[in-house]
Amino acid sequence: MHNQVQVISEMATMFNATLTEEVNNYTQLFASFLPQRFSRDDSSCIQVGEFSTPTLRTGLKTLNLDQVRGGRLLTAHRRRLHYLRARWR
């Protein structure tokens, strides 16, 4: 039983490390599409679907629900997935 708990703990730790790394990678990818650094304003929220989210801005431009930047990010994400799939074949 102790060994099973240890294995599950190690799997959870590995999953957390992988997820954290991917979030950092996508944050950097997202930031690369912005003309300047972006900021988060917790005092001003925007409704996105059923969630109230902090306002993301680059300069005076609000980024929440910006479909153009989101489309470019999705295209870059797809390219990255194709690259990773080809690399592991």
Separation in Å, CA 30 to CA 19, 27, 38, 70, 77: 16, 5, 10, 9, 10
- Planar angle of CA 13, 85, 9, nearest 5 degrees: 10
What pLDDT does 13 receive? 93
The 10s digit of each residue's pLDDT in 78-89 is 777 777 677 666
Whether the model pTM is above 0.85: no
Collapsing DSSP to helix, strand or coil, 23 comes out as helix
Q: Take residue 80 and report the two structure tokens written for it.
A: 């990255």
Question: Which residues on neighbouring strands pair with residue 46, listed in sequence order?
Answer: 53
Question: Which residues on neighbouring strands pair with residue 39, listed in sequence order?
Answer: 57
